[in-house]
Each structure stands twice: as structure tokens, then as C-alpha cells.
Amino acid sequence: MEVPLILAQNLSKTFTVAQKDPGLAGTLKHFISRRYLRIAAVRDVSFELQSGEIVGFLGPNGAGKTTTLKMLSGLVRPSEGRVRVLGFEPFRRCAEFLRQITLVMGNKQQLIWDLPVLDSLRINAAVYQIDGHTAKERAREFAALLGLQEILTQPVRKLSLGQRMKAELMASLFHLPKVLFLDEPTLGLDVNAQLAVRDFLKTYRDRYGATILLTSHYMADIEALAERVIVLHRGGILYDGALRGLTDKFSPFREVDLELADDVAAQALAGYGEARKTQRRRYRILVHRQGLMQALAEIMARFDVRDLAVKEPPLDEIIAKVFSEGEV
Amino acid sequence: MLWALRKALTLVSVYFAYMMEYRGEILFWMLSGVAPFFFMSAWSEAARRGLTPYQANDYARYFFAVFVARQLVIVWAHWNLSEDIRSGKLSFRLLQPIDPVWVYLADHLGERGVRLPMMFAITLVFFWLYPHALVWPGAAGACLGALLAALAFGVNFLVSYSIGLLSLWLEDATEIFDLWYVATLFFSGMLAPLSLYPQAVLQVIAWTPFPYLVYAPAGLWSGMEVDWRRGLLALLFWNLFFLLLSRWLWRAGRRHYSAMGA
Amino acid sequence: MRYLKLLLTFWQTSLAARMEYRTAFLAAFLEAGLEAAGKLFGVYLFYANGFDFGGWRWQEALLVMGLATLLDAFFIAIFNPNLRRVSEMVQDGRLDFVLLKPVDSQFWMSTQQFAAVGLPFMVVGVAIVVYAGVISGLGAGGWALLALSLAASLLLAYSLAFIFATTAVWLVKIFNVVYFLNTIVWTGQYPLQAYTRPFRLFMTFVLPIYFMTTAPAELALGRRTALWLGPLFLAALLLFIASRVFWRFALGYYSSASS
């Protein structure tokens, strides 16, 4: 069997955090003796990624996504377990390893605030040993893909949030990394900018055959990019598999939209599942997957059905439901 | 090797551009380094009343050299690090296949490119006001002084960098650098030429890096009596000492940074 | 009254924020001690070489030095952090929030921060002033004059610093202007008569350091008549009014320039 490109075995990470009560008394107490709390951010997580995969990391805030990405990119050393990326142990920071990966953090930025993007790119070119000609070509290529041609010579502080994020992406991928760790790459962007970032990532993957592991709050990002998802919750893995399978596993319901010839009360349909009247003579029922066929047959028999559609509920609703319910 | 050189040049030139954005800031920073001229004034007044071993003009020469030496060794790596740690920017630096210390060093060297021309302007004004203080120390003295100043910069930079690394544990270590700064202020020959210090004090501070940081280069430039061999050796020793300390702190600090969640 | 309460709340929160940093506080203590010792050593060097700063007994020179240390402590604890904040808030536009509040904006911008690391310097400064005052034989009148003229000199220093900080509205980044001002205050640790004539003129008429440390000591020691207190306060008040007018003017510019 092929050696996995990314390997995480029984990863765990525990942090210690200082605690402080509010107010002056709390301040003084905190000054003299401190209480610490141990927080398990990641617990016994194992997974593998093959070359060329795009995997989405899902989970509410604090699920351990960012910590896992940081362990994979060598910023954080695991408390327990084993990580291998491209055959390297990330925390050692081998130059050879660092040249092949990147980590994009949507909430932080690496560009030099008061200088144009091109100056930051010059630094990256020197650091990653990209010669002048190639660097120029690549800057042109990326700028064209992201629609940034006009703004490369403006100081970063003058850019809009969307432009800045795109420029961040450009700088982070400038050395053509093989493995991309993306932590909320579309955070706070408007729909157009989100689309542009997604398209860019797709193009990059196709052109350079990269492996991508990304987290996002926007389901649309995951749906558009990832074939496989890993769901984290409270530091552990809840699900690892195909995106489609997620629906089956976590949402045993289907949404049935009905249009009837007669106007009836919603309660009449309540026997088949959670029923709601959306308009006059129109209804929406959440029906359990297993009883779906039977329920449809009964409805057809009992009512004069004008129109009928069966849908899967939207993915982000499922996800939200899973997380609010906690354990599944 | 060639790549290393290119890397260095690019880094320094980008940080030069960066510092050019802050030229106004740097100018005021330089102006806040004018304290030696006030000491010059006080000692000149003392000399005018015929009370000290040196003439007013000697003081002018000496304190001007002190001003230059201090401008050359100014560092702020502790501040860079503390800022990068607080804002999380250090994570980006760690992702790059280059030790962050080089980036901070480039930042300092790039700034010198902005500072030096301004210093030249201040020099012109000074010699216009004090034409007699313009005495060339000789090529050997000038070069040796420059070498000592470069080494003094090395010590200062490594101390600042090491203290910055302490921010990994202490949240904010910038105040600790102030301790170093204050000690430098009083024991490096800023107050007066070290030759005016009492023997007992001199004997104690000879074991610290302080007397070599400012007095060694400034004394050479202004024709004071300086044991440059001793200064050279001491500076080399302290460079090595703080280099090893900073490497050790870096290794331990990275483990700790990781424990905080990077 | 409302302002007093606000002031206390401001300082309590910034104290809480800073107390996080235990080592910083400890370092500040050491630094305050070291700096006082160093300054003392500086004064000693002059006296050991037979220079009495143009007619000052050493305990009197010590009084000047103590006043300079105290003034420096006020800069570290209150003026520096707040004035730096002006520049920050102009940069990121947070000044808008302050302008929306029903509180005098100059008061807000001058008091919202309190740096705990300045406390050790204050303690040391007060200790030196008291010690030097006692061995210089200050009477009750002398102490009263000292307190009054110190108040005037603080107002003077604050107004000057605030005027510098206000330029941030145009120049945006002015952190180092504050540094520059610190150095200037630092030179007030020796009596004015210690310096050569051009420096004396500069320190009296260009940047009025003379009024901040030497003048209060002279008044307290009876080297000048108490009548000089009048002009001292007048100068401080005038500069204070100037700082208010200038701030108003700058805000007018700020609100018309921002989008």
C-alpha cells in the first residue's frame, strides 16, 4: 500500500490556561498565585490523507480544528501521538519540509502592512529561493487568477478585506507548496470574494496537484471543494468519510414538499413526521428515511396530491443540528 | 552560498523600503538620542570653570562619538518578538524555511540604511556648531572603532533577541530590556568618559559587557585612552555568550510556544 | 464627580490588564532602583570632579534630581501610555468611538490608561524628594511652595506632551515624539545652571524644562521669591489652554478629513 502523504496517529494536545476572576480582588489574587486549567484541545485523533485529496475539516469553534492544523504544520508539538507529513516530523521544521507546505490563517496576516504586496512577495521569493524571473512570472499568473493585477503596487493597508485575503493566499502559495493547510481562508469575505478564492484553490490543485486540508465556517466552501470531510467535535473525530455519507449518517430525515388540491390543517399530516404549512395548500414534512416510501404511498392514497418533491435537508442545517445535539 | 547572500540582500532591501515608510518616526527616535549632547554641555561647563582633567573641546569630541556609537547599536528585536508573539505573526515566521532571527536582523540592518543619512545630517549641524570638535582619529582608529561598534551591536542585538524570546514565557518581556538599557546608560560611558569614573566602579563593571558597548568605540574615535585589545576580546566573548544563550532560549521557547497553542 | 469615577474605573481596568505581567512589574521595580542609583552616581561624578552645577549644594541638586524622577514617573505611568494611544486611535479610527461618548474627549484621551510599571518610579521619586528636602532643611513654607510649583510643572509637562500628541491627527505615527519628550525631561535631572549658556536658553525658552524641575526647587529653597509662583502657574495655564484649543482645532480637521 502507498504511504499516506499525511498521517496522524492518536494525536492529542493539552494546553494549560491561566484563570482569572474579574475585578480588583481577582486581579490581585491572580497577581499573587495563579490557577491553571488543563484543556484537552485534541483527543486521540487519527486519520490519513493520500496525495491529491481535498479534505474538509468541520466542527464548531473550539472543536480542535486549528490545533490539529498547527500540529500538522509544525507550529504545535503534539502532547501525544505521531504526525508525519510528506514523511517529515513537522515540529522539527526541516527546511525541506517547510518548502513544501503552507498554512493560511484567515484571521491572521503575514503581509507587511505598510508596503505593497510585491515587496512581501520579494521576501518570500528570497526565503524560498525562487529566482527573479520565475517569481515575476508566478506573480503575474497568480494575480491574473485572483484578479489582483491592479493592486499589487499598493500598500497592504489600503486594500479591502477581500483583496487582502487574496493577496495573503498569493503570498502563502507563492512557493508552490504540495500540501496546503487552510484555516478559514474565506473568513469574513463577501460571496464574490469567496467564489474567487474557491476557484483559485481549485485551479491551483488541478495545475499543481496539491493536497489540501481546509476548515471553513461556510458549508459552501466545503461542498465546492472537498470530496471527503472529517468532522471534529470536542477534540475527537465524529465522522470521517465522503461528504454525501455525512447526510445519511447524521440526517436520517428527508424533506418532503407537498402541494395538495385541498386546504387541510398541518396536523392532518403530523402522523408522518414534523409537518409545517408553508403556504396555502403547500406543506413541508420531515420524514424519517426508513419510513419514507411507505409514508409517500400513504400520503398519495389519502390526499389529492398536486405536486410532490423529496429533498435532502441543507448540509449546514444538518451540521448545526449535529453539533447542538453533541454526541450522536 | 549565493542563495544565502541573495536572501540576505533581498531581506535587507525590503526592510529598508519598510523603514523608509517610518522615516519620520526614525528621525524623532534619533532626536531622542540627543542626551549625550546635554552631558557634553554640563561637562563643558565644568571644564570652563577649570575643574576637570579634560578641555571643553575634548568633551565635545567624546560625546559626539558617544552619540554616534549609540545610534549604531540601537536595537529593538525584543519589541519585534513580543509583538509577533502577541499578534501570532510568529507562526508565519515559523512556517518559513528560514530562522526568524535573520528576519529581525535584516529589519535592523535595513533601518540603519535610513538612520545613517539622517545621522550624517545631524553630524553636519554639530560640526557647524562645534567646528573645533572635528578631529579625524586616523584611519586605524576609525576602522577599529567601527569594528568595535559592530561587535557592540552584535551583543546588543543578541541580548535584545534573547529577552524577546522570554516573551514566549512571560507574555511581555519588553520591560526587562529596559533594565539592560538603563544599565547601559550608566555604565557604558554615557554619563562621562569612563576615565573619570572611580577605580572601584571601573573594576566592577569591567566584568560586565557595559563599558565596551559605548566607551570602547567612542573612546577610540575621540582619542581617549582605550584598551582596544581588551575591548575586542570582551566583545567577542559576550557575543559568543549571548549567541549560545539565545540559541538555547530559542529551542526551549519553541517548545513552550507550542504548549501555549502557537 | 462623574469624571473622578470615570478616572478610577479607567485606572482600575488598566491596572488589571497590566498586572497580568508580573515580571514586567518586578523588572520595573529593579529598573526604578537602578535608574535612581545611576542618576545619583551621575551627580556624584560631577561633585567628585569638583563641579557644583554652578552653585548648588549637593543635597539641593538631589532635590532637582528627585523632581525629575517624579516627573519621569508621571510620564511613564500616565502621559506616555495615553499619548501613545492618541496615535493608535487615530491610526485605526477608534477615535471615532471616543468622540461619540458624552465625555470631554481630551479628558478621555489623557486618562484612559494607567501603567502600573510607573508606580515604582513614583515611589522612588517621592523618596528622593522627601529625603533631599529634609536634609536641605525645607520648612513648612518650603514644602508648600514645592507642592504648588510641582503641580504647576506637571500641568506644564502634560500640556506640552498633549500638544505633541495632538499632532498625530496630521502625522498619524508619532510614538517616538513621546520618546523625544522623555529624553528632554530626562535632561532636567541637573539644575539649569549646570549647562552652558546656549543649552540654558534652549531649556528655558524653547522646551521649558527649566520650569519643570529647577524652578520648583529654586522656589522651595528660597533662591527665588514666592512671587515667582504666579508666572509659573500662568505659564502652565496658558499652555494648558493652548493644548485644549489645539485639540479642538485638530478634531475639526480630523472629522472633516475622515470618511
Element (DSSP H or E) covering residue C5: helix C2-19
Q: How far apart are alpha carbons B45 and C55 in whole angstroms?
A: 12
Lowest mean pLDDT among A256-260, A264-268, B122-126, C248-252: A264-268
> Residue C209 CA to chain centroid, in angstroms?
10
Q: Determine whether the interchain pair C22/A24 forms a contact, defined as Cβ–Cβ distance below 8 Å.
A: no
Inform me whether the C-beta atom of residue A171 falls under 8 Å from chain B C-beta atoms: no
Which of C30, C174, C187 lies closest to B179 in CB terms? C30
Q: Which residues constitute the domain of residue A294?
A: 252-311
**Complex ipTM, two decimals?**
0.87
Which of C20, C26, C92, C117 should be substituted to probe chain A, the one whose Cβ sees the most A Cβ atoms within 10 Å? C20
Query: Quick one: A156 and A283 in the same domain?
Result: no
Query: Quick one: A170 and A236 in the same domain?
Result: yes
For the domain that residue A214 is a member of, what is the CATH number? 3.40.50.300
Paired strand residues for A259: A282, A307
> Within 13 A of A105's CA, how many CA atoms are on the CB side?
21
Q: Determine whether the interchain pair A126/B7 forms a contact, defined as Cβ–Cβ distance below 8 Å.
A: yes
For the domain that residue A284 is a member of, what is the CATH number? 3.30.70
The string of pLDDT tens digits covering residues B111-166 is 998 889 989 999 999 999 998 888 888 888 899 999 999 999 999 999 999 999 99
Query: Quick one: A157 and A189 in the same domain?
Result: yes
Average pLDDT over residues C16-25: 70
Query: Quick one: A34 and A176 in the same domain?
Result: yes
pTM of the entire predicted model: 0.83
Which of B87, B91, B97 lies closest to A128 in CB terms? B97
| Nearest C-alpha in A relative to C18 | A27
Q: Are A259 and A306 in contact (CB under 8 A)?
A: yes
Which of C16, C20, C22 lies closest to A24 in CB terms? C16
The answer as to whether A214 is a domain residue is yes
Q: Determine whether the interchain pair A27/C19 forms a contact, defined as Cβ–Cβ distance below 8 Å.
A: yes
Query: Quick one: A133 and A261 in the same domain?
Result: no
C259 pLDDT tier (thresholds 50, 70, 90): very low
Query: Quick one: A119 and A240 in the same domain?
Result: yes
Our CA angle for A308, A312, A317, nearest 5°, is 130
Say what percent of chain C tops pLDDT 70.
95
Q: Determine whether the interchain pair B3/A129 forms a contact, defined as Cβ–Cβ distance below 8 Å.
A: yes
Query: Quick one: A156 and A128 in the same domain?
Result: yes
Domain final position from A198, A224, A248:
A248
Q: Determine whether the interchain pair B186/C24 forms a contact, defined as Cβ–Cβ distance below 8 Å.
A: no
Query: Residue A1, class by beta-carbon neighbours within 10 Å (0-12 exposed, 13-18 middle, 19+ buried)?
Result: exposed
Assign C86 to helix, strand or coil: helix
The string of pLDDT tens digits covering residues B31-71 is 888 889 999 999 999 998 877 888 888 999 999 999 999 99
Query: Quick one: A267 and A213 in the same domain?
Result: no
* Highest mean pLDDT out of A26-40, A247-261, B31-45, B165-179: B31-45
Lowest mean pLDDT among A178-182, A206-210, A306-310, C98-102: C98-102
The three-state (H, E, C) secondary structure of A217-257, written as one string: CCHHHHHHHCCEEEEEECCEEEEEEEHHHHHHHHCCEEEEE
Element (DSSP H or E) covering residue C72: helix C58-74
The number of folded domains in chain A is 2
| Residue with the larger pLDDT of the pair A320 and C153 | C153
Which of B53, B175, B185 lies closest to C38 in CB terms? B185
Q: How far apart are alpha carbons C160 and C208 in whole angstroms?
A: 9
Residues in chain B within 8 Å Cβ distance of C186 = 35
Q: Determine whether the interchain pair C24/B170 forms a contact, defined as Cβ–Cβ distance below 8 Å.
A: yes
What does pLDDT average to over chain A? 86
Q: How many CB pairs under 8 A join B and C?
A: 112
List chains touching C (3+ CB pairs under 8 A): A, B
Query: Quick one: A164 and A260 in the same domain?
Result: no
Which of B43, B111, B182 should be substituted to probe chain C, the one whose Cβ sees the most C Cβ atoms within 10 Å? B182
Residues in chain C within 8 Å Cβ distance of A30 = 19-20
Cell digits of residue B235 = 566583545
The answer as to whether A317 is a domain residue is no
Question: How near does any CA of chain B get to the CA of A104, in Å?
Answer: 9
Query: Quick one: A172 and A235 in the same domain?
Result: yes
Which of B32, B42, B48 lies closest to C176 in CB terms? B32
Query: Quick one: A39 and A128 in the same domain?
Result: yes
